[in-house]
Structure 1
Amino acid sequence: MEHDALATAKQLVTRLFPDCEAALLAGSIVRGEATETSDLDLVVFDNNIMSSYRKSLMENGWPVEIFVHSLTSYQAYFDSDCQRGRPSLPNMVAEGIVLKDNGMIESIKHEARLLLQKGPAEWSAKEAEQKRYFLTDVLEDFLGCSNRAEELFIANALAEQLSEFVLRVNRQWTGSSKWMVRALKRYDDEFAGRFIEAFESYYRTAEKEEVIQLTDAVLNKHGGRLFDGFTIGKESREQ
């Protein structure tokens, strides 16, 4: 599978980007985690383009996602990923197998590795307070809800906000979907196990207690639930 993927990726780069400066194959194929529905992720550096873009296509039976950047535009995406805490492009660049290189790819890979090692931008005290407030809000919704259909979607939101809070207050990269649990496991495998067990138990039995206890345990390390006195949108003034 990997050989076929590599051949297909090289073929695509030669046909679609013959004058590009560099190209990489990234994603699950490279990590040895491919499934029957896996696609090929290509990162192309081409100074002939006007602006960065993303393109999806089928090639030799493979779904392919192509991320095209110039030799300067990728830096804005690196910065954006660091701010939001999800290192999509740095990960692809750091792990990618070189398909073509006119001599600059190692410096870009080095830049990506340094960003990954450094971790995401640190939340300010105000950002952490806001996230704590919103996590409290969704927890209260979860506690008070008696409509099973609505409760399922509240639980989904709670899982996402809880995982983000745990990771970001500890200067760790986060993610969405499957990357959320992978990020938790990289940070703290024991906590990830408790997180999975709590939500799995809720979805299976509709019992909320494990999820509530887990969320409160996280919040209590940072001051507990937050509602009274919280403001957003203006500065509070002492009278």
Structure 2
Amino acid sequence: MKIDPIVAAKQFIDKNFSNCQGAILAGSVVRGEATETSDLDIVIFDENLTSSYRESMFDFGWAIEVFVHNLTSYKYFIEMDCKSAKPSMPRMISEGIILRDVGILESIKKEAKEILEKGPEIWSKEMINTKRYFITDALDDFSGSNNRAEDIFIANTIAYLVHEFVLRTNRQWIGSSKWIVRALNQYDENFTEEFVAAFNVFYKTGEKKKVVQLVDKVLEPHGGRLFDGFSLGK
């Protein structure tokens, strides 16, 4: 049986990073969303390291992913997360439970929280139009296709593009995999229900109408579908 995640994380730190200046337990166990396959996400801050690294292992009855940084290297990963609008590192630091701290983590957690609250950079009009074009292109492929195998993967692309469009045009963080739905829920639970329902109908029955209606509803406030007149790099 797995021991308590906090106990396991503390024992892991004592065993492997006894001289670190800070350690945070993050992830699903902290949010109360752990499943049978959940792991422990542990962020380590060690001033003696010359570079950061990530490592996965089994120990103390848990799958453990450890993200190891010195006192400045984490900033690079936060910057990369902000550019991709997927705030993995700021989220882990902000929501995480402090397991060890010599007085460095208050300012680091404050920085991460402020980044999350600020949201990603605002999309330009040009970027919005570019995304409208690519969503339109995928939707046309979807509507015109009679190949079930191709339909499935076009739908996957549309789902990602639409979630990204909705969130970024409202200056919200996006996600991937399970975080697509989580990020949408954090923004608008009602829209998320509509989004999931439309794609669920398609995947179950092959009916495309609700997906097409959803996409048009999302694009409409920004000018609708875009093909004629679109130019990129001219």
Aligned: 1:72 with 2:72: yes
Aligned residues of 1:2 and 1:29 also touching (Cα < 8 A): no
Give distance in 1, aligned partners of 2:228 and 2:46. 53
CA deviations over 1:74-104 (Å, ceiling 9, x no partner): 1121122122111101110011111110101
Cα distance, 1:226 vs structure 2: 1.1
Cα distance, 1:233 vs structure 2: 2.6
In the other structure, the counterpart of 2:216 is 216
In the other structure, the counterpart of 2:120 is 120
In the other structure, the counterpart of 2:7 is 7
Map 1:80-91 → 2, pairs under 5 A: 80-91=80-91
Cα distance, 1:211 vs structure 2: 0.3
In the other structure, the counterpart of 1:18 is 18
The AA in structure 1 aligned to 2:61 is G
Cα distance, 1:8 vs structure 2: 1.4
In structure 2, the gaps of 5 or more residues are none
Of residues 127-136 and 201-210 in structure 1, the stretch that sits farther from structure 2 once superposed is: 127-136
Aligned residues of 1:77 and 1:89 also touching (Cα < 8 A): yes
The AA in structure 1 aligned to 2:226 is L
Aligned residues of 2:2 and 2:61 also touching (Cα < 8 A): no
Instruction: State the secondary structure of the residue aligned to 1:112.
Output: helix
Aligned residues of 2:133 and 2:230 also touching (Cα < 8 A): yes
TM-score normalised per structure 1: 0.94
Cα distance, 1:35 vs structure 2: 0.6
In the other structure, the counterpart of 2:108 is 108
Give distance in 2, aligned partners of 1:229 and 1:46. 54
Give distance in 2, aligned partners of 1:49 and 1:131. 41
Cα distance, 1:23 vs structure 2: 0.5
In the other structure, the counterpart of 1:98 is 98
In the other structure, the counterpart of 2:48 is 48
Instruction: State the secondary structure of the residue aligned to 2:143.
Output: helix
Aligned: 1:167 with 2:148: no
Aligned residues of 2:3 and 2:60 also touching (Cα < 8 A): no
Instruction: State the secondary structure of the residue aligned to 1:120.
Output: coil
Cα distance, 1:28 vs structure 2: 0.7
Instruction: State the secondary structure of the residue aligned to 2:47.
Output: coil
TM-score normalised per structure 2: 0.96
Instruction: State the secondary structure of the residue aligned to 2:222.
Output: coil
Cα distance, 1:105 vs structure 2: 0.4
Give distance in 2, aligned partners of 1:33 and 1:115. 23
Cα distance, 1:180 vs structure 2: 0.7
- The structure-2 alpha-carbon separation of the partners of 1:189 and 1:2, relative to structure 1 and needing over 3 Å to count, comes to farther
In structure 1, the gaps of 5 or more residues are 235-239
Give distance in 1, aligned partners of 2:14 and 2:126. 49
Instruction: State the secondary structure of the residue aligned to 1:227.
Output: coil
Instruction: State the secondary structure of the residue aligned to 1:221.
Output: helix
Give distance in 2, aligned partners of 1:19 and 1:232. 53
CA deviations over 1:92-135 (Å, ceiling 9, x no partner): 00111111101010110011111111111111222222111111
Aligned residues of 1:42 and 1:67 also touching (Cα < 8 A): yes
Aligned residues of 2:85 and 2:174 also touching (Cα < 8 A): yes
Give distance in 1, aligned partners of 2:133 and 2:157. 14
The AA in structure 1 aligned to 2:58 is M
Of residues 74-83 and 172-181 in structure 1, the stretch that sits farther from structure 2 once superposed is: 74-83
Aligned residues with identical type, % of pairs: 56
How many equivalent residue pairs?
A: 234
Query: Runs of 4 or more off by more than 6 Å in structure 1?
Result: none
Cα distance, 1:2 vs structure 2: 8.9
Aligned residues of 2:86 and 2:173 also touching (Cα < 8 A): yes
